[in-house]
């Protein structure tokens, strides 16, 4: 029996018939205690679900669905290192990366905790060498610029976290400019190479597989730039200017990264779950080793909560189940992520990969085509800017959209009054927008007299996630909460969130098309592809 024919799902369907036509305005009028009933706190995060279109019965029935799907057992399976990624026959142990050293975890008879901490300590040692100016470029210059070359999980997590935590860098570490290069077209790299000094630049080539063409193309360009600038042999350049972070050491060595310049992680760390591993080196370079440890500790606090709290007050579980309610029972298939703090500007892009690459699936774990909705379309932007871009659609468009508002409760505590006032302005806007989305123009006394184009219908559900303040710990907890949310949803939908077969064929087809541009292949494709290739060739000849 598929989940959408199961008793708990059918009960939710019947319950949804009663809730679907209820407006959030009515729900708030009928129950003055919604905030008290539907907001929950743990690990630096308060999550307010009261502006979701739920009742107490909804939550109860969602928890019944989670229990029916054996969620508690599946949570244990994740933490215990069971093979929760069957199509690649391996566990997904990102939670182990943030466990304290003394917590032992055996996988296939081996204690992986020791290996994890050894790898982390080696990364910290290299970070110290770079900060202290001991790591030198080809002419003896200390490193000033670090460029992380990677894509997907080898880029988005470190980039997001560097931007979120850069202000926490302790005064005693030498400032390093950390840059990120991901796009295969070379734009980001070309821009950087025009104004940085080769001798004081270090490249971190981050790639789990060390075979991603996007990353290798950028790494090749970087190496050629350094060899040309220094006129030194490539081996010497590699020693002074390249660190490789990978789960495929042999491939990194083949490319030319000496073993002593490599940091390793494991195939049981999914790419989009890897920022907690040595892939996070850019974070430690930007914010310091201690803050990297605090980030891990915050994530571990959320892990502990997720593993031990009852389902009824478990933040990732509630976040996930209310998402399921919106998607599968209220037919909402768009999800906007709206941080009201510029330091969180890259959170939406990170979540696009985390959620859509994990749960953008339509085949069950048993390999059957499923016939219910899974991951919605997720996008986002810093809230205050999005207000001037796409909020029009949220308020008056034809699509139902669920939103996550994210903000820290306090900011700029030891800075000027003007900045504090700016934070309050952002918070007032955050709360105003979620209020208006929920209640529409019923917040006004005379809305009924307004012309149609000025009306706001409301009833758009949202969750507000309020951090006590932004810190390495609260940020770690926030991201871990989303990771676990994704896992919970995959359990309910009976899909594998840890593989990404849907990105593979594009790579193969692109490789086979490469030769078409040079005329070395005349493989027949389709009229559109052939027409476009012809156009490129004509432009080249002109
Ligand atoms: O193409 C998708 C993907 O495999 C992601 O899952 C991954 O994060 C990214 O490419 C980068 O992979 P790698 O770290 O192996 O270069």
Give the model confidence (pLDDT) of 353-376 as tens digits: 999 999 999 999 999 999 999 999
CA-proximal residue: ligand 1, atom 9 (nearest): 152
The CA-to-CA distance between both ends of the chain, in Å, stands at 62
pLDDT of residue 268: 96
The answer to whether the predicted template modeling score (pTM) of the entire model surpasses 0.95 is yes
Atom of ligand 1 nearest to the CA of 271: 8
Q: Which atom of ligand 1 is nearest to the CA of 279?
A: 14
List, chain by chain if needed, residues with CB within 6 Å of any ligand 1 atom.
151-154, 207-209, 212, 215, 271-272, 357, 500, 503
Tens-digit pLDDT profile for residues 374-393: 999 999 999 999 999 999 99
Mean pLDDT, range 213-236, rounded to an integer: 97
Position 523 confidence tier, pLDDT thresholds 50, 70, 90: confident
**pLDDT band of 242, cuts 50, 70, 90:** very high
Per-residue pLDDT at 522: 76
- Provide, rounded to the nearest whole percent, the portion of the chain with pLDDT above 90: 92
Q: What confidence tier does 541 reach under pLDDT thresholds 50, 70, 90?
A: confident
Please state the atom number of ligand 1 nearest to the C-alpha of residue 214. 16
How do residues 68-102 score in pLDDT, each as one tens digit?
Answer: 999 999 999 999 999 999 999 999 999 999 999 99
Residue 238: CA atoms inside 13 Å, Cβ hemisphere, count?
17
pLDDT in tens, 159-208: 999 999 999 999 988 889 999 999 999 999 999 999 999 999 999 999 99
Which residues participate in catalysis according to the annotation?
357, 388, 507
Instruction: Look up the ipTM and state it.
Output: 0.98
Per-residue pLDDT at 135 exceeds 90? yes
| Joined tokens for residue 232 | 């030194």
- Give the integer Cα–Cα distance in Å for 356 and 159: 18
* H or E segment to which residue 381 belongs: none
For ligand 1, atom 2, the nearest C-alpha belongs to 503
Q: Is the pLDDT of residue 33 over 90?
A: yes
Ligand 1 centre to CA of 28 (Å) is 44
Q: 353 — phi, psi (to 5°)?
A: -70, -50
Q: What is the pLDDT of residues 216-225, one digit of tens each?
A: 999 999 999 9
User: Vertex 52, ends 362 and 472: CA angle to 5°?
Assistant: 80
CA of 87 to the centre of ligand 1 (A): 16
Beta-sheet pairing, 334-339 with 462-469: unpaired
Q: Report which DSSP code applies to 332.
A: -
What value does the mean pLDDT of the chain take? 96
């Amino acid at each position: 029996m598929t989940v959408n024919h199961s008793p708990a799902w059918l009960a939710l369907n019947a319950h949804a018939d009663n809730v679907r036509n209820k407006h959030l305005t009515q729900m708030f009028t009928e129950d003055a205690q919604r905030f008290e009933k539907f907001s929950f706190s743990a690990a630096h995060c308060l999550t307010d679900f009261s502006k979701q279109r739920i009742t107490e019965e909804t939550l109860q029935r969602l928890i019944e669905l989670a229990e029916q799907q054996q969620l508690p057992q599946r949570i244990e399976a994740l933490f215990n290192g069971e093979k929760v990624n069957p199509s690649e026959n391996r566990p997904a142990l990102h939670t182990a990366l943030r466990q304290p050293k003394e917590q032992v975890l055996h996988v296939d008879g081996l204690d992986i905790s020791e290996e994890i901490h050894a790898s982390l300590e080696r990364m910290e040692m290299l970070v110290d060498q770079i900060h202290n100016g001991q790591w030198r470029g080809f002419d003896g210059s200390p490193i000033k610029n670090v460029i992380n070359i990677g894509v997907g999980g080898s880029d988005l997590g470190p980039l997001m976290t560097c931007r979120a935590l850069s202000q926490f860098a302790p005064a005693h570490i030498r400032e390093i400019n950390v840059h990120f290069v991901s796009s295969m077209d070379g734009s980001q790299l070309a821009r950087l190479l025009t104004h940085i000094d080769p001798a004081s630049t270090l490249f971190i080539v981050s790639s789990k597989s060390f075979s991603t063409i996007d990353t290798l193309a950028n790494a090749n360009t970087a190496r050629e730039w350094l060899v040309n600038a220094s006129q030194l042999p490539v081996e010497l350049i590699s020693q002074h200017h390249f660190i490789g972070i990978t789960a495929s050491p042999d491939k990194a060595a083949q490319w030319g990264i000496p073993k002593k310049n490599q940091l390793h992680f494991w195939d049981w760390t999914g790419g989009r779950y890897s920022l907690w591993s040595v892939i996070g080196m850019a974070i430690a370079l930007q914010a310091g080793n201690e803050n990297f440890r605090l980030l891990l500790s915050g994530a571990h606090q959320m892990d502990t909560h997720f593993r031990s709290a009852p389902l009824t007050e478990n933040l990732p579980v509630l976040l996930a189940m209310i998402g399921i309610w919106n998607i599968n029972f209220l037919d909402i298939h768009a999800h906007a992520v709206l941080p009201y703090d510029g330091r969180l500007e890259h959170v939406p892009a990170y979540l696009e990969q985390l959620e859509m690459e994990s749960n953008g699936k339509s085949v069950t774990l048993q390999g059957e085509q499923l016939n219910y909705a899974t991951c919605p379309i997720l996008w986002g932007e810093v809230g205050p800017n999005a207000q001037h871009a796409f909020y029009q659609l949220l308020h008056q468009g034809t699509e139902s959209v669920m939103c996550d508002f994210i903000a820290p409760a306090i900011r700029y505590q030891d800075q000027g009054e003007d900045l504090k006032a700016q934070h309050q302005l952002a918070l007032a806007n955050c709360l105003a927008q979620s209020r208006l989305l929920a209640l529409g123009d019923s917040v006004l006394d005379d809305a009924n007299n307004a012309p149609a184009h000025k009306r706001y219908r409301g009833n758009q559900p949202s969750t507000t996630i309020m951090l006590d303040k932004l810190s390495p710990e609260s940020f770690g907890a926030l991201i871990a909460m989303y990771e676990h949310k994704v896992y919970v949803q995959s359990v309910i939908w009976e899909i594998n969130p840890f593989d990404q077969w849907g990105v593979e064929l594009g790579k193969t087809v692109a490789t086979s098309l490469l030769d078409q541009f040079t005329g070395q292949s005349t493989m027949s494709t389709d009229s559109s592809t052939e027409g476009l290739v012809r156009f490129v060739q004509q432009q080249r000849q002109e």
